[in-house]
Chain A
Amino acid sequence: MSSLSSLIRNENMKIYRRPRTWLMIAFLILSIALMSGIMKWDSSQNHSRDWQNDLTERNASMQQELQENKELSEEDITYFTNEIMLNEYYLEQDINPDELSLWNYVSTSSSLIMLATILTVIIAADMIAAEFTWGTIKLLLVGPASRTKIMISKYIATLGFALLLLILTFASAYAAGGILEGFDGTSQAMLSITDDGVIQESSYFLNSLEKYGFSVISMLMYVTMAFMISSAFRSSSMAIAFSLLFMLVGNTLSALLSGYSWVKYLLFSNIDLTQYMNGATPLRPEMTLTFSIMILVAYYIVFQFVAWLLFTRRDVAA
């Protein structure tokens, strides 16, 4: 009987021995390099002037706005006051807020997790369907490993690939930031203002992790969906095409249909949890964080169950 760990090693071999996988990884790293390059170029265009003078001017104009504009909302007032307070703190401590630190690169790289997600979705969609396309499914299944075990090993290998891409994204953004801005920014603290109006120093690292965390949740959902599609279709090109289609069209679709209340039950309406974070408004007013988490968990279970059912119960005849 096969052990799960050796089955996972087999699946890993099938992922990493394919040149395609390394092209994907190269593409991801290249994209991060490109993003970092553009960020650097952009900032070098902007802050050639005297930043202290800049901040002072900005503060003055905000102050003026606060005093003269009587139609400002409560939110705007808090925002302006906080900004002014922060800027004064920057001037006091001699910190240039517009100067990029390595953490800006890491933080921005979290938007490239979308790319990592697309790449992992391609791998996931291929995971089961490709065995059918290659005709190797028969030899794979005729062995001392139950179908459930084979499926679990494939799913774990897929998650492993996702994790690798995440680590690579983080590491290459960190490296790019370090190379372009110096690694001495690593210990720099992130400044923000709490609700009580106190300036607070927090860790950039934790902030980046948080940004990554939200993207990872949507990544996990998309990848699990692709995995289910993979066990439904017996052709890898179909599986990849459908997975990418759902992923790319889904968000637009739920935004378009947000007028209807049933939209809140769609996967795509709940997949982005940042809609509940400070300041953002959820897709529909009645949606809450708990509600979305419950919907996501339900979808996750359904995806896994359907995938398992399709993979273990069907005859392999062709």
Chain B
Amino acid sequence: MKEFGYQRALDVSGALALLDADPDARFLGGGTNLVDLMKTGVERPGRLVDVRELPLDRIEPTEDGGLRIGATVTNSDLAAHPDVRRRYPALTQAVLAGASGQLRNMATVGGNLLQRTRCGYFADVTKPCNKRDPGSGCPAIEGEHHNHAILGASDHCVATHPSDLGVALTAFGAVVTYETADGPGELPLTDFYLPVGDTPHLETALPPGALITGVVLPPAPVAANSRYRKVRERASYAFAIGSIAAALDVRDGVVHEVRLAFGAVASRPWRAHAAEAALTGGPADAEAFAAAADAELAAARPLPHNGYKVTLMRNLVVAVLSELAEEAAR
């Protein structure tokens, strides 16, 4: 880890001024990913601007009945918040499925969205990686990739986004708010992450020097009947190999509204628009759920060793939607 400067910001404008859009500087939130990447040499900033104490640590209702979640709210406080647990239970479940109690106490909402892939090639500076070192190649494609992407990847990068929280936020149509020296801006989470293409090192659409100030959850009554299911290679404290955030509103046996997002299958949390469209207005049964999953997964381009993820995601869609349909019927 190289030497670096450290400054602590106390308000948003101060943070932006301290960062000064300096490409050698980084915002430091909980540090659970950035400090690790600095130790492994993946990140080598010359300066850190600590934003953990910014007054962005509140969860408040919006006027239209949604929720505004501050960027420095810790994962733990987000998961424990009564409004989140009541109105967006899958969001609480997603957060609690991630990392560990210790890390959730440290990690912030803003930092969670900006965390980097856990691809083992990316994290190891002795190996090539187009995301870390553009043009050096992607060894995963011909190497170890049993937990890599099946959707939206490219010949340049097949890494997945590791967030659980982001999957639930994506299902519920969250919007990221940010501030720059030129004023505020916002990005729906579905537009927040850039397509991989031939620039896997460019990950988000945030303008240079921007500070995430929070996430706005629009009102979503459907989210009250929601669930997050995560499959991983040990029972806890592991990244997903496939996960799903789902919400379902069934009226008279017909799907009135459905939300579906997938985790650990793409470079970003994957909103399953095709599956949602296939289901809406149709029957809420296992056959329809499977057909909807197939509609979404038709775009999958598995590698030799991760084709199981297509089956896994299909099975998860059917299982979780079936559970939600049953619970709604009770």
Specify whether A and B are partners.
Answer: no
